[in-house]
């Protein structure tokens, strides 16, 4: 019922910034919390950030806290991830996902996933 499409990834130098977008289909976008995850080669998919239905609550992995900001525009059915002060260790494929209940930090709490967008940070 839901299609998620990420965009905005690319190649950036360390210390630079990128803004990822995740566009969702349907009219019930505002009914669901959303999250961003990332996966680097050889590593498990890890939680990056989450946001409540109306955007009033946000959650971040310790590794990105203070550098990344998650936000959403329900009128545009879009969730964003603003990434500042990027580091080479941020290099990964970034996925957005729809939360269906449970911990923001667990991949098992999400049912629909986007195709991912590559973020590469050079030293």
Q: For the segment 21-72, what is each residue's pLDDT rounded down to a tens digit?
A: 999 997 788 889 999 999 999 999 999 999 999 999 999 999 999 999 999 9
Question: What pLDDT is attached to residue 28?
Answer: 84
Q: Which pLDDT does position 55 carry in this prediction?
A: 95
Give the helix/strand (H/E) hosting 6: strand 4-7
Q: How far is CA 72 from the centre of its chain?
A: 11
CB 19 within 8 A of CB 9: no
pLDDT-derived band at 17 (thresholds 50, 70, 90) equals very high
Does residue 80 have a pLDDT over 80? yes
């Amino acid at each position: 019922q839901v299609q998620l499409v990420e965009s905005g990834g690319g190649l950036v130098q360390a210390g630079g910034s990128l803004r990822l977008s995740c566009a969702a289909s349907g009219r019930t976008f505002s009914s669901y919390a959303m999250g961003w995850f990332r996966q680097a080669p050889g590593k498990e998919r890890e939680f990056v950030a989450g946001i409540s239905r109306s955007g009033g609550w946000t959650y971040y992995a310790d590794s990105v806290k203070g550098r990344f900001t998650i936000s959403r525009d329900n009128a545009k059915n879009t969730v964003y991830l603003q990434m500042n002060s990027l580091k080479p260790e941020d290099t990964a494929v970034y996925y957005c996902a729809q939360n269906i209940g449970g911990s923001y930090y667990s991949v098992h709490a999400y049912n629909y996933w986007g195709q991912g967008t590559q973020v590469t940070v050079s030293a």
